Amino acid sequence: MASLATAATEKASIEAFRVDVIDASKDMLVIVDFWAEWCGPCKTLTPLLERVVAEKPDRVKLVKIDVDKNQTLASQFRIQSIPTVYAFAGGQPVDGFQGALGERELKAFIDRLLAAAPPTAGEIDAEAEITALIDAADAATAAGMHDDAAAMLGALANEFPERENIAGKFALALITLGNTDAAAAALAAVPADSKDADVIRARAAVALAAKAVPVDDLAGLQAEVAANPDDHGRRFDLAGALLARGDRDAAADSLLTIIAADRTWNDAAARTTLLKMFEATGLDDPWSIRTRARLRSVLFS
C-alpha cells in the first residue's frame, strides 16, 4: 500500500508541475525554486525570491518544490545541490542557477528574462488598451480639451508609474494648463537620463517656466530696452516676460539680439534659454527648425 500511495503522490506532483509550471509558463515567466527544509542557503534565497517575484505579480510566478517530497521531479531535473532555480517560459526551461543570489542579482536575472520573453496574449491586449487611451488623450489635446487629456493621462500615470512616455505626456498636459509645479512632480520619478521625447520637452518647459517671469508693465519694459539697447540684462528680462505671455517669436528675437551682441553674456544665458525653447517646442517642430536656422546665421556670421 505504501508504494501505491507513493506512486500516486508522485503522479499528482508531476501533474501539478505540468499545470503550475509548464502550462502557466505559456502566459508568464515561471520561476521554480527547488529547496528543502534542512537547506540553510534555501532559507536565505526563498524569501528573496518571494519578494522579487511579488513586485511583478502579473508577469512572474514562483513555484516552490520541496525535493524531499518530490524526488521524481528532482531526479528528472538532475538536482544535485540546492537551492537550484529554473526559469520557464513558453513551456520550456530557459535559464537557471544554483546557490543563493542577492536581491539585486535576482532582480537582474528576472528582468533579463522578461526583456527576452515574447509578450503574452494578455500583455498584447493590455498594451493595445494603453495605446488607445494615449491616442484618445492626444486627440483631446489636439481638440483643445486639455483638462480631459490631463485627466486621462494622470490616470494612466498613476497606474503605470514606470512608463516614461506616459509621464512625459502627462507633464506636458499639466504645463499646457499652467501647472508647472505638478508637471515637475510628475517627472520626478523619471530617470534623469531619459531619452523619451516628451520627457525632454516637458523638462525643458519646466526649466523655461522659471525664466518666464510676467511683468505688469510690458510696454514700459520694452521702452526701457529700446532706450538702452546694450542693457542685456533688461533685454533678457524682456524675453522672459514675452515667454510668460506665450510670445515665443518676440522672446526669440530678444534672445537672438543678445547672442548677436555678446554670445557669452551671463554664461551664455541667452543661448541656453533659446536651446531650452527648442527642446520644449520639439526639435522637429517647424518653429524650432526655422529659429535654429536664425541662430546658426547669428553664430556663424
Cα Rg, the chain, nearest whole Å: 30
Cα separation, 277 vs 249, whole angstroms: 11
Per the CB < 8 A criterion, the answer to whether 66 and 79 are in contact is: no
- Whether 197 contacts 166, CB under 8 Å: no
Cross-strand bridge partners of residue 85: 33, 97
- C-alpha cell at position 26: 505559456
- The SS3 assignment for 150 reads helix
Q: Are 89 and 30 in contact (CB under 8 A)?
A: yes
Give the dihedral sign, CA 195/200/202/207: positive
Q: Which residues contact 84 (CB under 8 A, 6 or more apart)?
A: 34, 77, 96, 97, 98
- For the question of residue 39 being annotated catalytic, the response is yes
User: Helix, strand or coil for residue 80?
Assistant: coil
- Look at residue 98 and give its three-state secondary structure: strand
Q: What is the dihedral of CA 250, 255, 260, 261, to 10 degrees?
A: 110
- Annotated catalytic residue: which of 21, 28, 31, 39? 39
| Distance from C-alpha of 229 to C-alpha of 170, rounded to nearest angstrom | 40
List 32, 42, 205, 258, catalytic entry:
42
Amino acid identity for residue 123 in this structure = E
Residues known to be catalytic: 39, 42
